[in-house]
Amino acid sequence: MKSMLVTGANGFIGRALCEEEIRQGYSVHALVRSSEKYVVDGCKMTNVANLTRTTDYTEMLVGVNIVIHLAARVHIMNDDASNPSAEFYEANTAITLNLARQAAFSGVKRFVFLSSIKVNGESTSSELRFTPDDDFIPTDPYALSKYKAEQGLLAIAKETGLEVVIIRPPLVYGPGVKANFSSMMKWIYRGVPLPLGAVQNQRSFVALDNLVSFIIHCVEHPKAANEVFLISDNEDVSTTELLQKVAIAFEKRPLLIPIPVRIMRILANLVGKDGVAKRLFSSLQVDSSKARNLLDWKPTITMDEQLIKTADAYINEKTL
């Protein structure tokens, strides 16, 4: 039986991943910041309140074959930290590389790192998709910290023989999703009219079930070693189409007003919401063919199916 150490195990992705790993018969050691928020039957659990670049993982890595590193300081809109770049580097680069070096020293075979599509950039043109081999160095502090972690991991792999797998997902959605996706669901569920009925962009997403499936696939597949993958549902949609699908999942009629995007951009600029406008109106498409062709992986769930599960979980939470 393979033994895994999963960091960030009490997060949105981590909980779903650990539950599926246990279901498939893996031995899972969950590294969490607060044990009070984490209950997955069958997991060994270690509570580490604050990971740093000097955290000692020696005891946690005993007998571990695979490390799946999900813990991170996530991208924050309107970040009020005094030095965001330094804090992102500490959380997403220094801590990652410290764990990887100790994993290599402890005899861990493979290190799976959850990066971000932001390493590729913020948007794509109508004729191009992001690929794993894009030559781009990000300037955003969050994306740059992920990029530096990737480069450091590949260097450690070359130096030590540790097998590294890097996964850059776009926006992940599924039961328990938070932040902007949760807000969007709230608007649709409450029947709030939205001026987003004429958006013709194209964006890639990845269902939580599909991401979990792919991470586990990367644990097992020999050809995943020392590779970078972009992953998606392979069902790109516009913002308007996504809202329509969410409404269908809720069995509601979407109230989408077809206001021209150019007008919406002007209004967003006037109220200082350029970042929100970019996510709503720009395209961001990824080429996930490498994941499908090299590893023979296929999505395990459709977007519509995952949205129904997400909507059901949202309704259940509201009725508790």
Contact at 8 Å (CB) between 208 and 244?
Answer: no
Query: What CATH number does the domain containing 21 carry?
Result: 3.40.50.720
For position 126, what pLDDT does the model report? 74
If you average pLDDT over residues 102-116, what whole number do you get?
A: 97
pLDDT in tens, 36-68: 566 678 888 888 877 888 989 999 999 999 999
Q: pLDDT digit string (tens) for 63-93? A: 999 999 999 988 655 555 668 889 999 999 9
In contact, 114 and 70? CB cutoff 8 Å = yes
Beta bridge partners of 316: none
Residue at 180 is within a domain? no
Given a cut of 90, whether residue 34 has pLDDT beyond it is no
Give pLDDT, residue 177.
Answer: 95
Mean pLDDT, range 240-260, rounded to an integer: 96
Could you tell me which residue, 230 or 85, shows the higher pLDDT? 230
Q: Is residue 239 part of a domain?
A: no
Options 26, 57, 142, 173, the catalytic residue:
142
The mean pLDDT value for 1-29 works out to 93
Q: How far apart, in Å, are the Cα atoms of 189 and each of 207, 239, 250?
A: 20, 16, 7
Asked whether residue 182 carries a pLDDT value surpassing 90, the answer given is yes
For residue 258, pLDDT beyond 90: yes
Structure tokens at 225: 């070693």
Residue 289 near residue 298, CB atoms below 8 Å: no
Q: Residue 183: which residues within 8 A CB-CB, separation 6 or more?
A: none
The gap from C-alpha 84 to its chain's centroid, in whole angstroms, comes to 20
Inside any domain, residue 242: no
The percentage of residues in the chain with a pLDDT greater than 70, rounded to a whole number, is: 95
Residue 300 belongs to a domain? no
- Residues 310, 173 contacting (CB under 8 angstroms): yes
Q: Predicted confidence band at 267 (pLDDT cuts at 50, 70, 90)?
A: confident
Give the rounded distance of the alpha carbon of 37 from its chain centre.
20
Pairwise CA distance, residues 227 & 223, whole Å: 8
Within a domain: 279? no
C-alpha 159/C-alpha 271 separation (Å) is 50
User: Is the residue at 245 inside a domain?
Assistant: no
Number of domains within the chain: 1
pLDDT at position 69: 97
Cα-based angle 142, 144, 145 (whole degrees, multiple of 5): 65
∠ CA(204), CA(130), CA(12), 5° rounding? 45
Q: Does residue 174 have a pLDDT over 80? A: yes
Residue 35's identity, in one-letter code, is S
Q: Give the residue-averaged pLDDT of 104-123.
A: 96
Q: Name the pLDDT band for 127 (thresholds 50, 70, 90).
A: confident
Q: What integer best gives the mean pLDDT of the chain?
A: 92
Give yes or no for residue 320 having a pLDDT over 60: no
Does any domain span residue 122? yes
Distances (CA, A) of 308 to 166, 286, 296: 29, 24, 26
Looking at the chain, the whole-number percentage of residues with pLDDT higher than 90 is 76
Instruction: Return phi, psi of residue 99, to 5°.
Output: -65, -40
Q: Who has greater pLDDT, 269 or 210?
A: 210
pLDDT given at position 52: 83
Contact indicator for 111, 103 with CB cutoff of 8 Å: yes
- Residue numbers of the domain that contains 59: 3-168
More confident call, 319 vs 241: 241
Query: Do residues 134 and 75 lie in contact, with contact meaning Cβ atoms separated by under 8 Å?
Result: no
142 is a catalytic site residue: yes
Establish if 310 belongs to a structural domain.
no
Question: If you compute the radius of gyration of the chain from its CA atoms, what whole number of angstroms results?
Answer: 20
More confident call, 100 vs 220? 100
